Amino acid sequence: MASMRDIKRRKGSIQSTQQITKAMKLVSTVKLQKARSRAEQTNPYSSYMYQTVSSMLAKSGNIDHPYLKAGRSGAKAVVVITSNRGLAGGYNANVIKLLTDSRLPKEEVWVYAVGGKGKEALERRGYRIKEDNSHIIESPSYADAAALCARVLAAYTAGEIGEIYLAYTHFKNTVVHEPKLMKLLPVELEENDGSAAEPGVLMNYEPSEEEALDMIIPKYITSLFYGALVEAAASENGARMQAMDSATSNAEEMISDLTLKYNRARQGSITQELTEIIAGASAISG
């Protein structure tokens, strides 16, 4: 059995770790609340944008537009949104796993990394990192999303990349976050999508349909990027909050276990001392 001093020291170290995890949990709870309300405010814009674009494409069936056709190049750009900091449970690993398990061959993927953890993990696995924009996840702004979108689209229109994907963590609610990998360009419509606006309305476009698409698609992609950034930030804090919560309760469990062990050791040593004293006294008087 470990000595009393050893047990005490171990208990102390776990206690201070617990204090840290508790504080981290509180911090991420506050951050989560902020990030969640932002995500909720962003939602109407992205969903309206999605509706507009899909109803536009559904009605204008076969326009010949570069954004709707696969590019010449086989290269695929993947925007991977992870966090800069760890201690968030499986948050980063899940996004990485989604990409490594996908059918996208490693050689053809160009990673536009947002978030240092994702960049490091993919770099280790031998992916090509095209860009590292890790700072923008700290406080996602629409301007950052627009700048990133402009760079990715420039590579797309220049023919350097043929497809654009987005990997991020979708924030469903405080406890459920699912990693998602979606294809952005060329735009693919989900079949049987009921949300494609009421049929029968014949939409007119000004200037022309092509020009309107030219203008709207980049905004659509930007809104998706921005929505993903904001949701990822919320998911990150949600994941960290959960991870820290379970770390705190694990620490609690270990502490109570160690307290029990410590008391047993203490009792054992007292009993032993007593036995020794009694034995000594009876030897003298005997």
Partner 1 sequence: MAEESRLFEVEIITPDRIFYTGEGDMIEFTTASGQIGVYKNHIPLTTVLSPGIVTIHRQGEEDVIAAVHSGFAEILPEKVTLLAEIAEWPHEIDKSRAEAAMKRARDRLANRTEEIDVMRAEFALRKALVRIDIAR
Binding map of partner 1 across residues 128-167, x = CB under 8 A, - = no contact? --------------x---x---------------------
Record the tokens describing residue 281, joined without a space.
Answer: 């006294």
CB closer to partner 1 out of 87 and 146: 146
Stretch that binds partner 1, among 3-11, 34-42, 86-94, 149-157 (CB under 8 A): 34-42
Tell me the closest approach of the beta carbon of residue 195 to partner 1, in angstroms: 15
**C-alpha to C-alpha distance for 239 and 171, rounded to whole angstroms:** 10
CB closer to partner 1 out of 61 and 207: 207
Binding map of partner 1 across residues 196-235, x = CB under 8 A, - = no contact? -----xxxxxxx---xx--xx--x--xx--x---------
125 alpha-carbon distance from chain centroid: 19
Tell me the closest approach of the beta carbon of residue 148 to partner 1, in angstroms: 14
Record the tokens describing residue 203, joined without a space.
Answer: 């939409």
**C-alpha to C-alpha distance for 50 and 222, rounded to whole angstroms:** 11
By CB under 8 A, the count of residues binding partner 1 is: 27
256: exposed, middle or buried (Cβ count in 10 Å: 0-12, 13-18, 19+): exposed
CB closer to partner 1 out of 204 and 285: 204
Which residues touch 150 (CB under 8 Å, ≥6 apart)?
218
Among 1, 16, 44, 199, the residue binding partner 1 under the rule CB under 8 A is 44
Subset of residues 238 to 257 that bind partner 1, contact rule: CB under 8 A: none
Tell me the closest approach of the beta carbon of residue 187 to partner 1, in angstroms: 16
b/e for 171-197, b at 16 or more Cβ within 10 A? beebeebebbbeebbbbeeeeeeeebe
Cβ of 266: how many Cβ atoms within 10 Å?
13
Which residues touch 17 (CB under 8 Å, ≥6 apart)?
247, 251
Stretch that binds partner 1, among 39-47, 124-132, 165-173, 247-255 (CB under 8 A): 39-47
**C-alpha to C-alpha distance for 98 and 177, rounded to whole angstroms:** 13
Binding map of partner 1 across residues 46-75, x = CB under 8 A, - = no contact? x-xx--x---x-------------------
Residues forming the site for partner 1 (CB under 8 A)? 38, 41-42, 44-46, 48-49, 52, 56, 142, 146, 201-207, 211-212, 215-216, 219, 222-223, 226
